[in-house]
Amino acid sequence: MADAEPVLLRVERPLAGCALLTLDRPGAMNALSIALRRQLASAFEALAADQDTRVVVLTGAGRAFCAGLDLKELGSSPDTGASLAPTADIDPVSAMARFEGPIIGAINGPAITGGFELALACDLIVASTAATFADTHARVGVMPGWGLSQRLPRLIGAGRAKEMSFTGNFIDASTAAAWGLVNRVVPPEDLLPQALGFAADMLSTVPGTLQAFKRLIDDGLGGTLAEGLALERQRSRAWASTIDRTDIERRRQQIADRGRTQAGPPPGLRE
């Protein structure tokens, strides 16, 4: 009987409605072996089918977020092409796209190439001051296949994206923030509290709106501005037909109360 596949992904429930996924190959900088890719894809497929999970936080164990594909494993593969263009069961980024709620990347250390692509597949990114980012596809001699060539230029502009991809150079967390790649940079000890704080904020919104708002933004970005505006008008009218005016008044008061407790600069920008 074959040995069971080692568990390389931790799945925890730190908050009701939130799943925390931790890549758990710290001795290999969480490099994406086929086994880890399979477990990550499977976890996101399961979470997509779980109506109680509305937000996911993704992070790495140890000193790295993810060093990318396991090049040692790839170099010994009898079919390198199949490993680089995998089937759905070992394609975590496609599985992430099928999860309808927000995905928060908590980037604790280096996010390199395939690991960088995992980060880019998140809806927002909180980075530790120890985080770094690099696209080394050109140095390895492969093409990206998980969306980096399209997502990165949309986030930081074509010139900066080409600088990263054509040189393979690393950028630090502060540069990533200045370029608009990450939402917050925090000390390492504050990384998960900040990411889970964002998750809690999202979970306090009206049920159903997170998924609908994410679809609206992502679908709108897939077309022109005019098409996106038309899509917003269409979906806004459809959503408005489902709203009870008494709910609006109750929520207005909740928003006012919450606003009074949130004076000052955003988290991560305080002295």
pLDDT of 56 strictly over 80: yes
Residues 153 and 238 in one domain: no
Residue 270: the pLDDT is 43
Q: Tokens 């006012």 correspond to what residue? A: 256
- 159-214: per-residue pLDDT in tens? 999 999 999 999 999 999 999 999 999 999 999 999 999 999 999 998 889 999 99
99: nearest Cα among 45, 142, 61, 135 = 45
Q: Residue 180: how many CB atoms within 10 A of its CB?
A: 11
Residue 1: the pLDDT is 38
Model's pTM, two decimal places? 0.88
Residue 55 inside a domain? The answer is: yes
Residue 252: the pLDDT is 67
pLDDT of 271 strictly over 50: no
Percentage of the chain beyond pLDDT 70 is 84
* Count of helix runs (H) and strand runs (E) in the chain: 13, 9
Residue 211: the pLDDT is 94
Residue 258: the pLDDT is 66
Residues 120 and 244 in one domain: no
Show Cβ contacts of residue 47 under 8 Å, excluding neighbours closer than 6 positions: 19, 53, 56, 99
Residue 3 inside a domain? The answer is: no
Residues 41 and 168 in one domain: yes
SS3 134: strand
Residue 70: the pLDDT is 86
pLDDT, average across residues 144-173? 96
pLDDT of 269 strictly over 50: no
Residue 103 inside a domain? The answer is: yes
Residue 187 inside a domain? The answer is: yes
pLDDT of 11 strictly over 50: yes
Residue 71 pLDDT class (50, 70, 90 cuts): confident
Query: Among 2-6, 26-30, 60-64, 221-225, which stretch is predicted with the lowest mean pLDDT?
Result: 2-6
Residues 75 and 182 in one domain: yes
Residues 188 and 69 in one domain: yes
Inter-helix orientation angle 209-221/225-240, to 10°: 160
Token pair of 179 as six digits: 């370029």
Residue 85: the pLDDT is 61
Determine contact, residues 28/206, Cβ cutoff 8 Å: no
Domain count, the chain: 2
Alpha carbon distance 46, 105 (integer Å): 19
Residue 188 inside a domain? The answer is: yes
Determine the structural domain holding residue 112 and report its residue range: 9-203
- 89-120: per-residue pLDDT in tens? 889 999 999 999 999 999 999 999 999 999 99
Residues 31 and 135 in one domain: yes
60: domain CATH number is 3.90.226.10
Residues 61 and 103 in one domain: yes
Residues 127 and 54 in one domain: yes
Looking at 203, 230, 250, the residue that finishes a domain is 203
Residue 124 inside a domain? The answer is: yes
Residues 55 and 122 in one domain: yes
Mean pLDDT (the chain, rounded): 89
Residue 149: the pLDDT is 96
Residue 220 inside a domain? The answer is: yes
Residues 26 and 148 in one domain: yes
Residue 260: the pLDDT is 64
Residue 106 inside a domain? The answer is: yes
202: nearest Cα among 98, 123, 128, 118 = 123
pLDDT, average across residues 1-9? 76
